[in-house]
Amino acid sequence: MAGPLTLRTDAGDEELDLGDFEARITAGEVSPQSQVRFPAVTGDRFVAACELEVYQRLHKPRSAYFQRTFRLSHFPWLTSGIIMLNVAIFLLTTENGVLQLDDKVLHGAKVGPLILDLGELWRLFTANFLHHDALHIGLNMFVLFNVGYVLENTYRTLDYIWLLVFSGIATMATSLLFNDSITVGASGIVFGCMGGVVAFGLRYQKQLPALYRTLLSNAAIPIVLGLLLIGVTSQGVDNGAHFGGLLAGLATGFFLRPRLLIEARRFWWEPALRALPSFAVLTLIFFGQQLFFGQFLPRMRVERYDVHGLSIPVPSDWMAGADPMGDAWFNGLPSAGRASVVAHAIDMPDGADVHEAARRFTEERLVPRQLGDDVTSVKIEAQEPWRVGDRDGLRIRATVNEINGGLRRMQVILVPRGTMVVALVSAWPAAFPRYGQVADMIVQGLRFSEPRALRHVRAEALLFPNSPDALAPLGLALLHQGEASAATDALAAAVRGAPSVVSYRVALARALLDSGEIERGCAAAAAALTYEPDDAQALEADARCELARGRPRRALERLVQARASAPGDERLREVESKLRATLPELR
């Protein structure tokens, strides 16, 4: 049956129906000068195809040119250069063919805490150029060469670079959102390139030459799905990164146009305009922390150290951990990137003395055997006055040397509070100095609140307002927190309720002396001695009274008596030694 129109070709006249004719026009298989007879329009005459309205509507010269000339025939020099760069970086960064975990951190892997705490967004880019071992880089580079070969022949160079940049950054950004692990590798870029190939094949399927139509559309999709399935069923694979790269490549590929379908450049600045997205994103990645948002990082949350009534701000992504010194929070990284802060309380029953606390902390805590088996030496860099809120404290700065040659910085802030000194110990790798600023932010946000024990005894005192057994613990807790004036009222009430309990009178004397009421304090100490003349605590309270009156020799006599009453009390021995050291004739 004859078709509704006739197409004259070199092989003779060919009868076509209208649908086939339109398909050939769209595919670029009918030239403008081809002779066509369309009885419904031309009658029995043959006319040039370009005279027909249907041809004018469907014919796209660039598409026809694309179908005739599209070939994957040029060597992918840019892709090969990227592969050589990856191989060079692999050889420079690995040891015995394997990139160790600490080296990943130091050389630019995607490390969540370093990005979120320090603003090192550049890691979202550099992580794509690091690989774990030879198999990892070998597989990635093999696939990258094959898919990059297609894209480099298809798109303009700057468009191809944008697809690579966007896919790589989207890969690591997705990994940052959904995976806490340290991530390296170009597999996300590889999936981005495969997404670009799939998008190109689907969008231009009808315009592709028959040779490439199946290869770049229908056949590409099962390959991508197969590679995704391999990743999902394998251990240690960052599948979130793969999906992020694939989606980025698909999105970019659907918006890019092949070079053969683009009209000739009309303005000299068009390449600069096309380079702008890549330049802008890379500028944000590498300089955003310094130029834009560094002052807003890290985001902090407040942790309560309820035992001692402290509120400590720490980066929101840090986790709680165990530490011999006390409550600790750290960024979850291995040694090369580990940063931490520890809250530690130093009990000082004779009153908080930050200089004495610094001496004890330096001698007992800042020594290799206390800091870990991998520590070889500790160097104290400085000890200087430091103010925290309305309290005068000290700051100790130290450098810790480790067996592997690594250096760590330590900062110890000592803040007095009642009969204890709070030590806030921050440590971070010397390779990441900005963690020192994070440590300062933590110190600046330190706040004191009522500790759990004080809340408990205060509640008991409210329930039993006339009970010496409830009032005395409240007074002692207040005295321990440095609230001597408030402690005086509670302890005075306890003494009135139980006048024969010497320990209550001793505590009252201590509270009065600490609040500056010397005569009342001395009277309370004398009353305690009246009840128990040989009580070591009462004698010590009287010694404090003599010191407050400026009579150190009489204070020493009282301490000697106290030591005789309690010969095994090491604290009294230490107090006596310190007092003797202040008297030249007794040294």
| Spans of the chain below 70 pLDDT | 1-3, 584-587
Is residue 71 in some structural domain? Answer: no
Q: In the prediction, which pLDDT does 3 show? A: 60
Is residue 66 in some structural domain? Answer: no
Is residue 221 in some structural domain? Answer: yes
- Among 293, 320, 354, identify where a domain stops: 293
3-state class (DSSP) for residue 333: coil
Is residue 70 in some structural domain? Answer: no
Q: In the prediction, which pLDDT does 510 show? A: 93
Does residue 422 sit in the same domain as residue 469? no
Does residue 428 sit in the same domain as residue 414? yes
Does residue 561 sit in the same domain as residue 444? no
Does residue 375 sit in the same domain as residue 431? yes
- Among 448, 482, 503, identify where a domain stops: 448
CATH number at residue 361: 3.40.1000.10
Does residue 190 sit in the same domain as residue 262? yes
- What pairs with residue 402 in β-bridges? 375
Residues 6+ apart with CB under 8 A from 320: 303, 327, 328, 329
Cα(456)–Cα(472) distance, integer angstroms: 13
What dihedral do alpha carbons 119, 123, 323, 370 form, nearest 10°? -110
Does residue 419 sit in the same domain as residue 307? yes
Structurally, the chain folds into a number of domains equal to 4
Does residue 458 sit in the same domain as residue 517? yes
Is residue 566 in some structural domain? Answer: yes
SS (H, E, C) 367-397: CHHHHCCCEEEEEEEEEEEEEECCEEEEEEE
CATH number at residue 144: 1.20.1540.10
Domain of residue 22, residue span: 5-59
- Among 421, 448, 475, identify where a domain stops: 448
Q: In the prediction, which pLDDT does 585 show? A: 60
Is residue 482 in some structural domain? Answer: yes
Does residue 351 sit in the same domain as residue 393? yes
Is residue 72 in some structural domain? Answer: no
- pTM as predicted: 0.82
Does residue 162 sit in the same domain as residue 234? yes
Q: In the prediction, which pLDDT does 1 show? A: 40
Does residue 284 sit in the same domain as residue 135? yes
Is residue 466 in some structural domain? Answer: yes
Instruction: Tell me the per-residue pLDDT of 169-188, one tens digit each, with 9 for 90 and over.
Output: 999 999 999 999 999 999 99
Does residue 25 sit in the same domain as residue 107? no
Does residue 442 sit in the same domain as residue 577? no
Torsions phi, psi for 277 (to 5 deg): -60, -45
